[in-house]
Amino acid sequence: MKSIGLLIFIFLFLTSCTGETAIDYNDTIIKPQLKIVEQMDSIFIPENSYATIQKHRKKLVETAESGLEETQILSDFQGNETFKKSAVDYFTYVKTYFGETPGIDSILYKFNSPERLKSLSEGVYKDTQGHFNRFLELENNLLSEQQKFAVEFNLKLDYRQLETP
């Protein structure tokens, strides 16, 4: 009898950590996405040094890794699988591109200033633009799926800026 009670307790604990309500599910996915946007904004300040850009990029990758892990734990929410899938695609891309691209800190540093941007080869410039466009495409897809999810589950979305602790 004790083992049944223990199993019920474990089940309740696990479900409470995995987006039990629509708003919890939404927040699990969107909070790291909002942090990534904030960190991207922090990277693209023209006065930033190379070291500052590197620091913000590393935080961005850590956030993407964390967001990916949290999202992968989630089950599809009441038959909705596209919101989770779009989040996994987004976090995977951010983690991979910003975490594994050789010379990414240098590229970001050069993209931060019109003068430094001129020093990039045309090939690197076009490749980077393509990756930035892919990032935006995945982000827009995620936000579109969030909107559909909100409509499907009657959520009122609040777009206020996250408070920094």
**Could you state, in order of their start, the residue ranges of all structural domains in the chain?**
21-152
Question: CA-based angle 2:13:73, to the nearest 5?
Answer: 130
Percent of the chain with pLDDT over 70: 84
* Average pLDDT, rounded, for the chain: 88
Around Cβ 41, how many Cβ atoms within 10 Å? 10
Task: Provide the pLDDT confidence category of residue 127 given band limits of 50, 70 and 90.
Answer: very high
Residue 85: what residue type? K
β-pair partners for 80: 77
* Tokens representing residue 99 in the block: 């975490």
Q: Provide the pLDDT for residue 160.
A: 56
Report the pLDDT value the prediction gives residue 148, as an integer from 0 to 100: 96
Residue 138, helix vs strand vs coil: helix
Q: How confident is the model at residue 156 (pLDDT cuts 50, 70, 90)?
A: confident
Q: Residue 152: pLDDT above 70?
A: yes
Task: Find the farthest-apart pair of alpha carbons in the chain and give their distance in angstroms, rounded.
Answer: 72
pLDDT per position as a tens digit, 90-121: 999 999 999 999 999 999 999 999 999 999 99
Strand partners, 77: 80
Report angle CA 155, 76, 160 to the nearest 5 degrees.
Answer: 30
Binning the chain into helix, strand and coil, the percentages to the nearest 5 are 75, 0, 25
pTM: 0.84
Examine the pLDDT at 53 and tell me if it is beyond 90. Answer: yes
pLDDT tens-digit series, residues 13-39 = 444 444 589 999 999 999 999 999 999
